[in-house]
Amino acid sequence: MSKLTALALSIAVLGGVWAFLALGPLSGSVLVWAGFIAWGSYFHTGGDGAALQKTIVGMIYGAMVAGVALALVVANPLGLAASIAAPVYVAITVFFLVIVAGINLLSVVPANVYGYAATAGYALSTNTANLTTMPNLTNPVLLVALSVVIGTLFGAASGKLAGILGK
């Protein structure tokens, strides 16, 4: 079997398992789409042990920075006008997505951005931007972080399975 066919088959099978788990038994505890973003980030980052670490750490870091942005927007500690508060707080926080790229585990800026975007997008689409009252899996940061870990592990598993099938 060709390497491409092996990878396609492994991702198809494990993608179906991930979708079943995320939309079934783990529903409400993980986000199927955030897991797939992490899965893609894993392969984009190199599909190896370093990619596993950098995807998980970078995406969770991005989720945490988005959590800070959301908290700043809700609290508006600078007392900014509503029309500029979110853009200013986003500008400040996304600076920190990139400036950390000199740190090895945070060196994949796209992974950091994927975590930020997934968290902000989920929070905005579900109106859960006030993170201070949600120390559980309704908290977008925690929900995305757990989805990232599992999605990245599925990515690594699909790579290993493809290696076995492609021999």
Asked whether residue 131 carries a pLDDT value surpassing 70, the answer given is no
For residue 30, list its beta bridge partners.
Answer: 27
Residue 47: count of CB within 10 angstroms of its CB = 18
Task: Give CA separation, 139 vs 7, 31, 62, 126, in Å.
Answer: 34, 12, 15, 11
pTM score? 0.92
3-class secondary structure, 43:
helix
The residues near 21 (Cβ < 8 Å, ≥ 6 apart) are: 30, 150
- pLDDT for position 127: 80
Percent of the chain with pLDDT over 90: 87
Report, as an integer, the average pLDDT of 132-142: 75
Question: How far from the centroid of its chain's Cα atoms is residue 164's Cα?
Answer: 27
Please give the structure tokens belonging to residue 63: 């989720």
Query: For residue range 48-91, what is the model confidence (pLDDT) as tens digits?
Result: 999 999 999 999 999 999 999 999 999 999 999 999 999 999 99
Across 20-84, the runs of DSSP E, i.e. the strands, are: none
